[in-house]
């Protein structure tokens, strides 16, 4: 999934801004990105209690335009863009291989007649583009990789208060009323009420040439920069899946708790992977995704094997220390009939974890018993 | 920039040691190591009275990022562990050479300390890693 290490990592438009802010720069999905700017724990808490800004320009922004963009996407995605009520609405979907395995998960925004915008994962963007272009055959539509754009996420309970005056005037007045999974745009700036933290907040796409200036204005307004480390623990607490960990091409949405994102109706919609998925559905799911809270000492990590009460195997797909709960938590793929407790192999030591239903945290509130 | 006190000795695996007045040897991880690990969230200390061998894994430090073994820089018996770390692992981040110490060893042979790197030698070993 990762880009070949031999390639020189790319920089986002904000690389110098991160270095100037003391960012510990690491290679991630072919980009040099800030892991943290001093303390990952502090950054996590900052987003839960106030507001922070993330550079997410490594994500792939892909516009689908043309008279048949709509029918192309209805054939491409496992969720159905016909469910979008109108321009400015967004939808979460998996992009499937023909065998039903997940190639990527993404957000699709309706931008108006014959125009959509997808936001895909950084590590999979090149592969997605190749797949999407191959699938274009016969459709009057184009796939445009918007590498001219940058993307910043402004997340946290104060986001709605602090952001408006820092936006272009044309977007400013829309911020207050913008609902989750909706977006507005003007002159190549797009403001979406979406995110990956479980908090209120926004994602802003803008010309890369203006990104450093916008970042400077956010910082001057006292908004703290947040690195990829906290982005991962925030999304884990929010119970959101991460491609390459909680799902990949060997698994279908039915295997990893994403069955709800597949639009089976109408039955006449033939999307890529539908037939394979129907077969997998008929065979019955064997696994489900659950949340875990470690009851003993240590930290749950991705890849750790686990055992259920009746001796069946499962695996931790994402794990870590949850700063809001001050416990280690995880997402895990477990057999369907998994009891309330599992044993996890923590580097040779057995830990006991309790099974819970994610999300662990939403809007600053702990939603599980710890 | 990382800090390497001149009065300490260092193992290439990033532990520091200090010989105390009573002859025991205090062990922790270097400022460089804690910075690489990031925020510490869990420390597993060795059993008091257990025997450790130079180069053997005897403690675990876990950060938000990863778990990492701590190796005994010298052989001997564990005589004390830092009990503050179970509730405050972040002491290793904030004060790696002071309150963030991890365990104390009664050395089998104190001369083993002489085999470790001095501050200059340890710093040079880090530069070599970077190149």
Residues A80-103: tens digit of each pLDDT: 999 999 999 999 999 999 999 999
A283: Cβ–Cβ under 8 A, 6 or more apart, which residues?
none
**pLDDT at residue B131 is higher than 50:** no
Nearest to A321 among B41, B44, B93 (CB): B41
Nearest of A248, A256, A246, A252 to residue A278 by alpha carbon: A252
Q: Does A48 touch chain B (CB under 8 A)?
A: no
- Name the pairing type of β-strands A90-96 and A102-112: antiparallel
CB B76 within 8 A of CB B55: no
Q: Does B36 touch chain A (CB under 8 A)?
A: no
Closest-CA residue of B relative to A36 is: B38
Mind listing the pLDDT tens digit for each residue in A209-236?
999 999 999 999 999 999 999 999 999 9
Confidence of residue A339 (pLDDT cuts 50, 70, 90): confident
- Cβ pair A297:B41 closer than 8 A: no
Mind listing the pLDDT tens digit for each residue in A115-158?
999 999 999 999 999 999 999 999 999 999 999 999 999 999 99
Q: Residue A357 burial (CB < 10 Å; 0-12/13-18/19+)?
A: exposed
Residue burial A172-211, b: 16+ Cβ < 10 Å; e: rest: eebbeebeebbbbbeeebbbbbbbbbbbbbbbbbbebeeb
Q: What does the alpha-carbon distance between residue A258 and residue A256 come to, in Å, rounded to a whole number?
A: 6
Q: Does B69 touch chain A (CB under 8 A)?
A: no
State phi, psi for A142 to the nearest 5 degrees. -125, 150
> Domains in chain B and their CATH numbers?
9-109 (2.40.50.100)
Q: Does A321 touch chain B (CB under 8 A)?
A: yes
Closest-CA residue of A relative to B60 is: A298
Q: Does A301 touch chain B (CB under 8 A)?
A: yes
**pLDDT at residue A1 is higher than 60:** no
Nearest of A338, A328, A278 to residue A306 by alpha carbon: A338
pLDDT reported for residue A253: 96
Nearest to B64 among A24, A40, A298 (CB): A40
pLDDT reported for residue A5: 54
**pLDDT at residue A42 is higher than 80:** yes
Percent pLDDT > 90 in chain B is 92
What ipTM was reported for this prediction?
A: 0.86
- Mean pLDDT across chain A: 96
**pLDDT at residue A370 is higher than 90:** no
User: Chain A partners of B64 at a C-beta cutoff of 8 Å?
Assistant: 40-41, 229, 233, 320-321
Mind listing the pLDDT tens digit for each residue in A247-275?
999 999 999 999 999 999 999 999 999 99
User: Chain B partners of A321 at a C-beta cutoff of 8 Å?
Assistant: 41-42, 62, 64
pLDDT reported for residue A180: 97
User: Chain A partners of B61 at a C-beta cutoff of 8 Å?
Assistant: none
Q: Residue B113 burial (CB < 10 Å; 0-12/13-18/19+)?
A: middle
- Mean pLDDT across chain B: 94
State phi, psi for A83 to the nearest 5 degrees. -75, -15
Helices A228-237 + A40-49 axis angle, to 10 = 50
């Amino acid at each position: 999934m990762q880009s070949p290490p031999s390639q020189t990592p790319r920089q986002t438009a904000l690389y110098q801004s991160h270095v100037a802010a003391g960012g510990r720069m690491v290679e991630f999905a072919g980009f040099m990105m800030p892991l943290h700017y001093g303390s990952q724990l502090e950054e996590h808490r900052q987003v839960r209690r106030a507001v922070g800004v993330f550079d997410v320009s490594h994500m792939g922004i892909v516009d689908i335009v043309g008279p048949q963009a709509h029918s192309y996407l209805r054939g491409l995605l496992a969720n159905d863009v016909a469910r979008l009520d109108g321009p400015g609405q967004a939808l979460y979907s998996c992009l499937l291989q023909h065998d039903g395995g997940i190639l990527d998960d993404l957000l699709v925004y309706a931008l108006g007649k014959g125009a959509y915008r997808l936001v895909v994962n950084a590590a999979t963007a090149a592969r997605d583009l190749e797949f999407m272009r191959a699938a274009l055959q016969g459709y009057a539509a184009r796939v445009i990789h918007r590498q001219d754009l940058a993307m910043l996420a402004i997340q946290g309970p104060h986001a709605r208060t602090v952001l408006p005056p820092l936006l272009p005037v044309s977007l400013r007045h829309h911020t207050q009323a913008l609902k989750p999974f909706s977006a507005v745009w003007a002159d190549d700036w797009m403001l979406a009420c979406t995110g990956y933290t479980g908090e209120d907040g926004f994602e802003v796409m803008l010309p890369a040439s203006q990104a450093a200036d916008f970042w400077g204005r956010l910082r001057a307004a006292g908004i703290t920069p947040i690195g990829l480390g906290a982005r991962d623990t925030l999304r884990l607490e929010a119970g959101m899946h991460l491609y390459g960990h909680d799902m990949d091409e060997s698994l279908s949405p039915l295997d990893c708790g994403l069955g709800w994102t597949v639009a089976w109706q109408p039955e006449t919609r033939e999307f890529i992977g539908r037939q394979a998925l129907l077969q997998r559905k008929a065979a019955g799911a064997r696994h489900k995704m659950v949340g875990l809270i470690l009851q003993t000492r240590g930290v749950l990590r991705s890849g750790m094997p686990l055992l259920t009460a009746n001796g069946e195997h499962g695996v931790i797909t994402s794990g870590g220390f949850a700063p809001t709960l001050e416990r280690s938590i995880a997402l895990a793929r477990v057999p369907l009939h998994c009891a309330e407790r599992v044993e996890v192999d923590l580097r040779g030591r057995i830990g006991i974890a309790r099974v819970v239903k994610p999300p662990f945290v939403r809007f600053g509130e702990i939603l599980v018993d710890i | 920039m990382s800090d390497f006190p001149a009065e300490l000795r260092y193992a290439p695996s990033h532990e520091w040691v200090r010989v105390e007045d009573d002859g025991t040897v205090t062990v922790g991880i270097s400022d460089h190591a804690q910075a690489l690990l990031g925020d510490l969230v869990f420390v597993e200390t060795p059993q008091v009275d257990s025997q450790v061998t130079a180069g053997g894994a005897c403690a675990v430090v876990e950060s938000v990022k990863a778990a990492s073994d701590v190796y005994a820089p010298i052989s001997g018996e564990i005589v004390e562990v830092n009990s503050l770390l179970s509730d405050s692992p972040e002491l290793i981040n904030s004060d790696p050479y002071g309150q963030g110490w991890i365990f104390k060893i009664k050395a089998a042979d104190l001369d083993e300390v002489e085999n470790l790197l001095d501050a200059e030698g340890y710093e040079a070993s880090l530069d070599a890693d970077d190149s």
